[in-house]
Amino acid sequence: MSIQESGEMYLETILILSKEQPQVRAIDVATYRELSRASVSRGLGLLRDDGYIDVDQSGHITLTEKGKERANSVYDKHNVLSSILKKIGVRDEVATEDACRMEHYMSDESFEAIKKYFGFK
């Protein structure tokens, strides 16, 4: 299944939030992304159905191995791309926004070449 940009954003958000707090719930994702809880619930339902996340009876969300892999990939792209953009003189806010857009559309092959060229491991 090809995951949509919004799904990748939710996975990345769950990853970020799970590093900052012990438990992640749908409301946390909605608040972080400034989205309606209904929209987030629909998106998370799709991610659960496709095996990217698990949701327990209390509503706590965890990434599955498949979800962790995808979330880490998107998060790595975001960090590397925003870092490169900042290094070449793009303002922090613009670099972060542009990296957020680019991370969802760039192929792994192009990303690996960029990382290699700019000396990222």
The pLDDT score that the predictor gives to residue 1 is: 43
List Cα–Cα distances, 65 to 15, 69, 71, 102, in angstroms: 12, 6, 10, 24
Q: 48 is in which domain, residue-wise?
A: 5-69
The pLDDT score that the predictor gives to residue 4 is: 86
Residue 85, number of CB atoms within 10 A of its CB: 19
Same domain, 61 and 81: no
Task: Specify the pTM.
Answer: 0.88
The pLDDT profile of the chain, 121 residues, written as one tens digit per residue, is 457 889 999 999 999 999 999 999 999 999 999 999 999 999 999 999 999 999 999 999 999 999 999 999 999 999 999 999 999 999 999 999 999 999 989 999 999 999 999 998 7
Phi-psi region of 119 (alpha: psi -120 to 50; beta: other; left: phi over 0): left
- CATH at 11: 1.10.10.10
Same domain, 85 and 111: yes
Same domain, 62 and 79: no
Split into its structural domains, the chain has a count of 2
